[in-house]
């Protein structure tokens, strides 16, 4: 299996420089956030040159560090570090993956700007027992250096959103991350915009309400918007912001900047498609 890198990370910025600092100014959950996709993590369909000239000093407020790609690949997709589409991650890869989390926790765990560490992004097709074993060891690695940083665990894409609820009962300051996309499922292909909105306001709202517990906060770590007219985009975005704002840790849009305008939160706000 070929890898671009053994491990790749990207950051979610929770507060951007003007003109958006007033939108993302809170320093505690629930957050309104945006992913810096293709900044530290290279995704083949996005242009990294879009971030030329953006300096670290231009990023304000809290940051979530996310381990987006792991050795062995946790889902077989190109953004997980694989080029051949295979998912090999499992028990034998846990020590290496935990060592990366320990490195991140040691380096950033006591920074005031750290909002949390997400220990894996979008696992899919991996053994659930292996994933739980890894999440426990990764949690312990973070706690070794930081008693207060939130530890974010991505729900498996191919499992019920509540599959980890009982597992996290013994942890403190844990967040369960769910990603909601309509455009990657054939189910939505023949639905009109209103039917998509109804799914958001009913099914997604109900699903999200069941993700939170006394032991875990909920986080919609990625969402975006499908092709539509401007008025339809506005209605669809409004529904998603309203529903995902009920997530107890907050939400994050994918992404801050992209050559495809509707994937770019900056462009969507500047052109009146999304109002926050």
Q: What is the mean pLDDT of each run of 10 residues along the chain (276 residues)?
A: 40 40 60 68 58 53 84 85 86 96 93 89 96 98 95 96 94 95 83 92 94 86 77 93 94 85 89 91
pLDDT of the residue at 32: 78
Q: Which of 172, 188, 182, 169 is nearest to 237 (CA)?
A: 182
| 49 three-state secondary structure | helix
Spatial distance between the Cα atoms of 48 and 258, rounded to a whole number of angstroms: 9
pLDDT of the residue at 9: 43
pLDDT of the residue at 16: 38
pLDDT of the residue at 48: 59
Measured in Å, how far apart are the chain's first and last C-alpha atoms? 43
pLDDT of the residue at 122: 94
pLDDT of the residue at 221: 82
Spatial distance between the Cα atoms of 263 and 252, rounded to a whole number of angstroms: 12
Domain boundaries, the chain: 8-270
| 33 three-state secondary structure | strand
Q: Which of 87, 55, 57 is nearest to 69 (CA)?
A: 87
pLDDT of the residue at 255: 81
Task: Give the CATH architecture of domain 8-270.
Answer: Alpha-Beta Barrel (3.20)
| Helix count and strand count (H, E) for the chain | 6, 8
**Cβ-Cβ contacts under 8 Å for 61 (sequence gap 6 or more):** 13, 14, 15, 16, 21, 24, 25, 26, 27, 113
pLDDT of the residue at 42: 54
């Amino acid at each position: 299996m070929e890898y671009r890198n053994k491990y790749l990370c990207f950051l979610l910025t929770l507060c951007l420089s003007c003109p958006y600092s007033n939108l993302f100014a809170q320093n505690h959950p629930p957050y309104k956030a945006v992913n810096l996709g293709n900044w530290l993590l290279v995704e083949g369909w996005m242009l990294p040159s879009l971030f030329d000239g953006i300096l670290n000093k231009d990023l304000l407020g809290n940051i979530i560090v996310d381990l987006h790609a792991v050795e062995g690949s946790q889902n077989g997709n190109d953004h997980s570090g694989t080029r051949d589409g295979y998912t090999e991650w499992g028990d034998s890869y846990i020590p290496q993956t935990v060592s990366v989390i320990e490195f991140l926790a040691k380096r950033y765990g006591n920074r005031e700007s750290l909002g949390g560490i997400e220990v894996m992004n979008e696992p899919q097709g991996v053994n659930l027992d292996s994933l739980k074993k890894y999440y426990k060891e990764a949690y312990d690695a973070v706690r070794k250096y930081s008693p207060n940083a939130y530890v974010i665990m991505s729900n498996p894409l191919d499992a019920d959103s509540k599959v980890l609820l009982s597992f996290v009962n013994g942890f403190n300051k844990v967040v369960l991350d769910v990603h909601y996309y309509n455009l990657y499922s054939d189910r939505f292909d023949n639905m009109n915009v209103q039917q998509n909105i109804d799914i958001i306001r009913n099914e997604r709202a109900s699903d999200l309400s069941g993700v939170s517990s006394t032991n875990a906060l909920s986080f919609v770590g990625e969402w975006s918007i499908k092709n539509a007219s401007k008025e339809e985009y506005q209605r669809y975005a409004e529904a998603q912001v309203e529903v995902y704002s009920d997530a107890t840790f907050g939400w994050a849009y994918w992404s801050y900047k992209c050559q495809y305008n509707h994937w770019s939160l900056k462009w969507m706000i500047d052109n009146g498609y999304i109002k926050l």
